[in-house]
Each structure stands twice: as C-alpha cells, then as structure tokens.
Structure 1
C-alpha cells in the first residue's frame, strides 16, 4: 500500500475539521498531537484536543477553513487561506501548518496572516 503524501493528509484533516468529524480527526492524530493557536497557546495530547474540538464545534458550529494555496515541504504542509465563521474574530485570512509524522498529523498550527509569519514560513 503506497504511503499517503503529507499534503493529502493535511487536506483530509482540514476536511474533517470542516465536517466536524471527531472520529475522523482522532484517526489522523498522533497520540502526542498538539494544536497551537494564533496566540501561541499549546494544547497537547490527542484526548485533550478531541475535547477541545468538541467544545470548539459546540461554540462555533459554522466554522470552516478554506485554502487558496497549499505548499508541502517534506513533512511540513503550509496552507494559505481564510476561515469562515459568524464569530468575527474567527472569520478572515489565516495561515496553517501541519506537521505530518508516520502518516498522521502530529501538529496543527494556526497563524495570523502577516508578512512576518509568511516570512517565517518561507512563503510570499
């Protein structure tokens, strides 16, 4: 069975976020999965993040991510786009990264879409 490329894994993970599919998200997370938000706050552990997603989906049922550009750099996938939500603070441009390990998402991170963050990620 051929390995699934990191880009496809990251895109599927995002589809599962958009579908609010907890079982699917769990199937693509490493046990030590971490999530880092735009403030740099870290939630670590698969179970911690599943609880976090439950709360997030309850609070923001119309949230979704839309990507306009996806760049794979080995096991790091960089996504450029925007999030959509009726909650204003969550609606707008953003950057994401996914670190893929052994076919699973080890880290999902959200960044504000700034020139500084684009430079940090090596994108224009």
Structure 2
C-alpha cells in the first residue's frame, strides 16, 4: 500500500505524540511516520517524545549515534545543514515492531553558493524499530555520494 508523507502533509495532522513517559498504543508504522512528520516540521519537541531513551540513529555510512539526547542534537545539526530536508515515503512494510520505508530523500545544503548548487535528491530506505510509541532505532540506507559532493564543493569554494 503506497504512502506519501511530505512536509506539510496532512496524513498525520492532528496526531500528537505522547506526553513524556506515557505509553501510547500506536503501531510501529504509525510511530515511524510520526517521526518522519516531526522531522519535516522541525518539531524537536515531538522528536524528543518519539525517541526512546536507548535510541540508536545509524546514518548511511554506518556511523551510530546512541541515546535520545545525542540523536536529537544530530537531527538539529542535520536540519540546520539541510533545512528543507524531506523524505518522500512511497512504500511501507511493517512486521513485528520493524518498519521498512522506501522512497526519496532530498534537500538543499544551506551553505551552498546557490540553491541550484546545493540541491540533491536520492533514492533511500529507512528501517525503524519501535516499541511503546517510541522509536528505538532509525537507520538510513542510501548512496549519499551526491550529498558528499555538494559538501566537498562548498568546502572547496570556502563556504561552510
């Protein structure tokens, strides 16, 4: 079944995350999509509520960020670099607390000399594990060479 979650999407409008410490009966898929929505909205309060204390964030090169506070800071940094970052989710599969999301990730590097020189879009997949309405693991699978090339070009041009 196709899902399309884009910034500003009303697919999860009105859905709020749980108050801190309160258990929510929400599927892993619903929890993962709530995380996507919080990222699109730069809603760090919702992100904080959605990240389990033991959360592990794994980027596309396999680097791990452990713990909710560190993951939240990583998202703040990433969304500062790519303020229009979006995940267009085209497919979703869910089984036993795990959710696989497939689609396209895109954004524009805020430090580029022009939006055209900083824009990228790549096929991507995400694997989420969730329990009790919180995401315990979020892993990205993508060939982010286009993103690295933009960052390297900006560095060579003296832009940070």
TM-score range, shorter chain: 0.7 to 0.9
Structure with larger Rg: 2
Query: What TM-score results when the alignment is normalised by the length of structure 2?
Result: 0.66
Deviations 1:31-68 (A, max 9, x none): 01110011110000111111111111111111111100
Q: 1:22, 1:111 → 2: CA distance?
A: 23
Q: Paired residue for 2:77, among 26, 45, 55? A: 55
Unaligned runs of 5+ in 1: 114-124
More strand by percentage: 1
Query: What TM-score results when the alignment is normalised by the length of structure 1?
Result: 0.84
RMSD of aligned alpha carbons: 1.9
- Indicate the residue corresponding to 1:41 in structure 2: 63
Question: 1:85 is paired with a residue of what secondary structure?
Answer: strand
Q: 1:38, 1:72 → 2: CA distance?
A: 21
Question: 1:4 is paired with a residue of what secondary structure?
Answer: coil
Unaligned runs of 5+ in 2: 1-22, 110-117, 144-160
Q: Give the number of aligned pairs.
A: 113
